[in-house]
């Protein structure tokens, strides 16, 4: 695993090993993916959760939040950059001592292409390029399983 990927995993641990959710930490993590701000959709969602104790959130939201944060950060990557959200989530969960079991995909989301290409030559995030229409982790039914 690359140094950048390890830093991303540690950044995710920083976000989720606290007592409360911090949008500030998410914004900092997103900078590793590119120079773009969080898309408005994610910014609004995370602002609502800002400073909320994880214990106050419904379990289904707590379980889905890491995938949503990774999805938001990946949306900050320059057009054409390769981001393997599933691998990042898998490595983060492995480091946390748990994993997701996927159930059937309920719907497929197509990624919007950014209007102006901003590709950094040779920039990758440990993964293959995603297809135009890929199942989104956020759209899947996921069940968090904690290892004993």
Please report, for residues 23, 57, 138, 141, the alpha-carbon distance to residue 122 in angstroms, rounded to integers and kept in the order given.
Answer: 29, 39, 28, 33
| Segments forming the whole domain that contains residue 75 | 3-146
Beta-carbon contacts of residue 104 (< 8 Å; ≥ 6 apart): 141
Euclidean distance between CA atoms 1 and 88, whole angstroms: 10
Instruction: Find the mean pLDDT for residues 94-122.
Output: 52
Look over the chain and give the mean of its residue pLDDT values, rounded to a whole number.
Answer: 75
Which residues are paired to 20 by β-bridges? 53
Where are the strands (E) in 3-146, listed by range?
82-83, 98-105, 109-110, 124-125, 133-134, 140-146
pLDDT higher than 50, residue 50: yes
Closest among 53, 46, 105 to 73, alpha carbons compared:
46
What is the token pair recorded at 49?
């959760």
pLDDT higher than 80, residue 115: no
How many domains are contained in the chain?
A: 1
Instruction: Find the mean pLDDT for residues 25-29.
Output: 94
pLDDT higher than 50, residue 118: no
Where are the strands (E) in the chain, listed by range?
82-83, 98-105, 109-110, 124-125, 133-134, 140-146
Euclidean distance between CA atoms 88 and 93, whole angstroms: 9
């Amino acid at each position: 695993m690359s140094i950048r990927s390890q830093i991303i995993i540690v950044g995710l641990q920083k976000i989720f090993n606290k007592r409360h959710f911090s949008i500030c930490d998410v914004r900092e993590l997103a900078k590793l993916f590119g120079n773009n701000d969080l898309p408005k959709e994610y910014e609004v969602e995370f602002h609502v959760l800002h400073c909320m104790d994880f214990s106050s959130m419904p379990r289904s939201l707590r379980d889905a939040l890491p995938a949503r944060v990774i999805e938001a950060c990946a949306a900050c990557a320059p057009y054409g950059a390769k981001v393997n959200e599933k691998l990042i989530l898998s490595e983060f969960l492995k480091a946390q001592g748990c994993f997701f079991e996927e159930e059937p995909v309920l719907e497929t989301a197509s990624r919007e292409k950014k209007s102006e290409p901003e590709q950094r030559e040779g920039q990758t995030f440990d993964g293959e390029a995603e297809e135009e229409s890929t199942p989104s982790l956020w759209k899947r039914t996921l069940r968090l399983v904690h290892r004993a």
